[in-house]
Structure 1
Amino acid sequence: MNTFSGGLKHIVGNRHCAATQLFFAPSEPLRHIVSHYTVQLRCDCEPQPQQPLTIVPDASGCLVFTLTNGRLQQLFWGPGSQPHQVSRDFNTIAMRILVEFLPGGAFGLLGSMPLYELQNRQYLLGTIAPSLERLFLPVIELHHESYPLLLQAIDEVLVRHAGIATENMLLQQVLACSSSVYGMLRLNALSDITSYSTRHINRLCQARIGLSWKSFVRILRINEACRRINRGGDVLRTLACDLDYHDQAHFTKDFKALCGVTPSDYQRNLSDFYHEETKLCAHLPDRYAHCK
């Protein structure tokens, strides 16, 4: 077990850039809102420049702290519903730390701002949450030369700040029901389970997750499709049926909308895509099993 100052624990992450990326579980008080931390370190052996990496949307959002040439940038990435390309810049940054939220996890940290206003956008943290930015600045200045200490300090700031946010029990029920079946749940059925109207559930999803219910479950299903394709094997023939699509055409249309390519093109070019296999809440118990 790899641990470091403060007790945050190393977890298994994606296959991409294994030499330059490390993944850590958040402390216990944050595990209902934060999926994990990603630490990206400078690697001068990274080839110049490569084809951009396409991020498969996961409806979650993240905080991104980037240190380059002594300068700090704090960004908030809103919940995504579209594929997004990023450069592979490990040979230019000094360090980058990402706070990867669970769906709905960022809501209370930003002063209850409806997350649909931030969908598919990037903001300087100070423009949308200046009080949170002010909390991070001194710890980054103090610990910017040591990622273990900096990561622990960021976790502690989030624990303090998350204390002002209130949990929504209906949202937790919505997430648990939908993620456990990879989005293969009709809104009317969820309404029956929760005893809340479909309109109320949809408003809740838009405000706290940042997406409509329909968009959210589509993302869940396509992320599950990516996970199964990434495992390997001949899965494309039955994937549409397995994920409760009416036909192959509807599945391909949804997949291309979220990944930018067809399922077969995705399978042929896995290294061009970044899909967080265990970020969505259905898989988190497996990821944290060895961290308790």
Structure 2
Amino acid sequence: MFDEDCSSLSAETHGYIQYGLQWQTQGYTERKIRYANEPVIYYQFATDGSGRAIRVVPDGCVDLLFRCDPSRPSALACGTVLKGTEISLEPNAVYFGVRLSYGLSLLLPGLPPKEIVDVQAPFEDALSQYADMAAKLAGRASFPQRIALFERDGLRLVTGDVRAAGIVGYCLATMHRTGGSVTVRELAADTGYSERYLRTKFEHSLGFPPKLYNRIVRFQQALEGVVRGVAPLSDVAAGGGYFDQAHFMKDFKSFSLMTPSQIRSMITAPRT
């Protein structure tokens, strides 16, 4: 039976990769910091003047994205997308982002992840107690200074006892630990709850079923293999838990808007 007091919610995970933010922007930099073993990715980039859309992919996380313009600061709370999507950002702007782990995403005060699935919500509406955060961050001159300010004034957003995420958090941890290969039936046997109950809890907390979350975990694991490795794509597919190449290609293109080969070509192409 599942026990909240002894559940392990370590956020060891494959991915949280957003290649569009890294490769379709200028001066991208990031830093991963762990808070009680939960990874938080701080990142910063600038957009060019073209106004072109930027690709985002499913990762199961919530991003807090701040435009650092002292004259027009703004912020968005961005839920996970469920398929490859293109978003528009302000041209000629500097952005500072905070990508929360899946565990911390479940603990955002007053903002269930299900309310912002496929949505970029105004930060001041979603998290009104931090409405002045964008202006404060815009007033800092450097990436390290912005991280330090966020840690000081937004500490509650990047820390917390993820055991409070309950049964859904426990299941997500298991999904990440198994690379998305655990079935709902196995989760039910592990926790002592019925499959129907687990699906209901996922819909209530995340807004989508556990089977889709498993697919997102597998995709992010495969994306990491495509982006960071030189292994043949057949090996990447097998390592990501895909039973055949056709299944791998279909899922990958749906989630990324590109084929694995196109992404590998993108890695070596000159940045524009």
Q: TM-score, normalised by structure 2?
A: 0.75
1:77 is displaced (CA, Å) by: 0.6
Q: Distance in 1 between matches of 2:88 and 2:268?
A: 13
Secondary structure of 2:102's aligned partner: coil
Give 1:1-292 correspondences, 5 Å limit: 16=23, 20-26=27-33, 28-29=35-36, 31-32=37-38, 34-40=39-45, 49=50, 52-68=53-69, 70-86=71-87, 92-93=92-93, 95-111=94-110, 113-134=111-132, 136=133, 139-140=136-137, 143-160=139-156, 167-270=164-267
Q: Distance in 1 between matches of 2:148 and 2:229?
A: 36
Q: Distance in 2 between matches of 1:262 and 1:137?
A: 36
Q: How many residues align?
A: 249
1:41 is displaced (CA, Å) by: 5.3
1:266 is displaced (CA, Å) by: 3.3
Q: TM-score, normalised by structure 1?
A: 0.71
1:121 is displaced (CA, Å) by: 0.7
Q: Distance in 1 between matches of 2:262 and 2:74?
A: 34
1:179 is displaced (CA, Å) by: 0.9
Q: Distance in 2 between matches of 1:27 and 1:241?
A: 29
CA contact 2:26–2:45 (8 Å) conserved in 1 = no
Secondary structure of 1:219's aligned partner: helix
Q: Distance in 2 between matches of 1:231 and 1:50?
A: 28
1:60 is displaced (CA, Å) by: 0.6
Task: Report the CA distance shift for 1:271/1:50 in structure 2 as closer, same or farther (over 3 A).
Answer: farther
Task: Report the CA distance shift for 1:253/1:97 in structure 2 as closer, same or farther (over 3 A).
Answer: same
Q: Distance in 2 between matches of 1:59 and 1:164?
A: 19
CA contact 2:46–2:92 (8 Å) conserved in 1 = no
Q: Distance in 2 between matches of 1:243 and 1:165?
A: 26
Task: Report the CA distance shift for 1:147/1:240 in structure 2 as closer, same or farther (over 3 A).
Answer: closer
Structure 2 unaligned residues grouped into runs of 5+: 1-16
1:17 is displaced (CA, Å) by: 7.9
CA contact 2:218–2:241 (8 Å) conserved in 1 = no
CA contact 2:28–2:46 (8 Å) conserved in 1 = yes
Q: Distance in 2 between matches of 1:69 and 1:157?
A: 18
Q: Deviations over 1:151-207 (max 9, x none)?
A: 212122222455598722433422222112210111111211222222232233334
Secondary structure of 1:204's aligned partner: helix
Q: Distance in 2 between matches of 1:180 and 1:118?
A: 25
The range that moved more, 219-228 or 78-87, is: 78-87
CA contact 2:222–2:239 (8 Å) conserved in 1 = no
1:264 is displaced (CA, Å) by: 3.3
Secondary structure of 1:154's aligned partner: helix
Counterpart for residue 5 of structure 1:
none
User: Identity, % of aligned pairs?
Assistant: 21
Q: Distance in 1 between matches of 2:244 and 2:64?
A: 37
Q: Distance in 1 between matches of 2:233 and 2:253?
A: 14
Structure 1 unaligned residues grouped into runs of 5+: 1-12, 273-292
1:75 is displaced (CA, Å) by: 0.6
Q: Distance in 1 between matches of 2:25 and 2:82?
A: 26
Q: Distance in 2 between matches of 1:270 and 1:208?
A: 35
Secondary structure of 2:252's aligned partner: helix
Provide the aligned C-alpha RMSD in A: 3.3
